[in-house]
Structure formats: C-alpha cells, structure tokens
Amino acid sequence: MNPPEIQLTNTAAFQLPNEKNGKPVQRTDLKAKRIEYCLYARKSSEDDERQALSIDSQLKEMAIQAEAQGLRVTEIRKESHSAKQSGQRPVFEGIIADVRRGLFTGILSWAPDRLSRNAGDLGVLVDLMDQGRLVEIRTHGQVFTNSPNDKFLLMILCSQAKLENDNRGINVKRGMKTKCELGFRPNMTPLGYLNDHYSGKGQKQVFVDETRAPLIKEAFEKVAAGASGREIYDWMKEIGFRTKSGKLLTLSGVYRMLNNPYYCGIFEFPMGTGKWYKGSYTPIISRELFDTVQKQMEVNPKSKPGTKQFDYTKLLRCGGCESGVTAQEKL
C-alpha cells in the first residue's frame, strides 16, 4: 500500500528583516491609524477663571496649532460651565460618550484644566487612556499619551487645578470668618442699614439708614406695646414704607424684620450654625426691646381642625392605672 501523497499549498514567502551592522532593522513603514481629534473649549464665568482665555481665543489658538501639526479635527465643541464638580458639564460628558463609542480617539484643548478641575473627570480621562480608547490628549505645548509618565504629568496638572480650587474655598471661608470677627456680616445689610460702596477693601463700614431706621424702631416699639405683625404690615403700607428696591414690604418681610437680631447689634453667620458675633455698627434697638418683641410674638401651637378642649381633662387621672382621663362629645 502506497503512503498518502502530501499536498503542499502555495504560501507567501516569509521575509526576514534586513540587517545593518549585524542587527535587524526595525520596520517603520507600518501605517498607524490616524487619530480623530475633538477640539474642546471651555470657560466658566466664575471668579477663579477670569484670567483664562475666552472660548473664541482658545478655539483660534488650537486651530492654528492643529493646522501647523497636521492634526485631523473632526468636530469642535464648546461650553460655559464650571469644572469644579464632576458630571456637571453636558458637552464634556457627550465627548466622553463619543470617545467610548470610538467617534474620537484624541482630544485637543488649550490646557489640562480646561478638561478637568476635579478628581472624577480626571479619573474618567485616565481610565479611557488605560483602555486604549483615548489615544492622545494635546494641549498648547504638551502632548499626553498612554504612557506612565504622560498620564502621571496629566494627573499632576489637573490635580494642581483642583488644589487651587480647594485652597481658594478655604481662603474665602477664612476671609468671611475674619470679617465676622471684625463685626461685619459678609453679605447685604437688612432694611434700616446701608452698605459702604466707596471705601477701600477692608475699610468698608455699615451705616444707619436715617430714613428707614426710625420707622423700623417704631415698628418694634408698637409690637412691644401689643401690636400684631399684621397691624405693623398695614401701618407700614399706610405710611408708604418701601424696601431698598422701591417695593412695599410684604407681610413675611415684616415678620423676618421683627425676628432679625441684627437690629440689636448681634448676628449669626452662617445662619443656623450657632456662631454668633457682636456687630461693629450702631444698633437700631436695644436687646431688651428685641427680647420683649420675641415674647410678644410667641404663638401657642394650634390644635388640629375639629378638635375641642374639655375642662379638667389634663388635671384628672384614673385612680387605678394613673392614666389621663379623656372626654368625648356625642350629639
């Protein structure tokens, strides 16, 4: 029996690499897939980004760079949102979704802090680079690829922007606390006082409104004498009392005024924290008058509709179980 015949198939010959100085020459003619860039520009209206280039300036500068470097920009997107918190920028979130779908493989932006000023968005960008979906991030003068050093530098620059945000928030709170300790509440003064808009920073004062302050003091005195909030509202409407914006004072505004301890020389800031400060301005009323008004305005809790109070029900108790005696009306 003859052995089976072996059939050879025609295959392309395997080519060994060329040699130079006894070493194989690396092939550099392999065509890499071209990166599709999305040009992203962002500017927030907040104080910490007033020095950043405008959106139009960012687009102009990066378009010039893209043309000079032969980059393929397939789409331009822009928005005016703060990047302090993650997930708050709809345009940026759309770019991330398109990168995951493979629509873009590169992002072109003016600076790293245009892309992220928080840890959440930064983590998303780095994660996309780890997955190979985001090949490159280019900024003005810098290129970030999926290499350890580039990703480390990108995280440092974006983390620096976050650090600036956090420190700025701490400094603002420290400044407000210092202002409170000096006796000035860090916001607009209530009715009866005027803010100083002309003195230099750190030298501003609070002045008594000579027109409204006497009427507010008289309102407190009327309540201390037995007037109700509704009566004060009608009286102020009758005499034509106006707010700083020229509007009539509402009934709720009357009660807020009568419950505001700012008029007796002290204030709480922030509200509800229990941190009280003595004001460095002239009080309109005394603390005794304010306390008298608060007692006068105390209202007993109202009963539910349809309930009726029976005599002696809160005094009598059962001799056996010591429970309170209740009553019921039957018609």
User: Residue 190 and residue 201: Cα distance in Å, rounded?
Assistant: 21
- pLDDT top residue among 1 and 75: 75
pTM beyond 0.85, yes or no: no
Per DSSP, what are the bridge partners of residue 38? 75, 107
Calculate the CA 203 to chain-centre distance.
29
Residue 168 pLDDT level (bands cut at 50, 70, 90): confident
Which domains can be identified in the chain, with CATH numbers? 36-164 (3.40.50.1390), 193-296 (3.90.1750.20)
Report how far apart, in Å, the C-alpha atoms of 208 and of each of 194, 227, 281 are: 6, 25, 8
CA 96 → CA 103, 134, 210, 316, distances in Å? 10, 9, 58, 72
Type and span of the H or E element at 42: strand 36-42
Q: Over the stretch 101-154, which tens digit does the pLDDT of each residue have?
A: 999 999 999 988 888 888 888 899 999 999 999 999 999 888 999 999 999 999
- pLDDT tens for 257-315 read 999 999 999 999 988 888 999 999 999 999 999 999 999 888 655 556 666 777 777 67
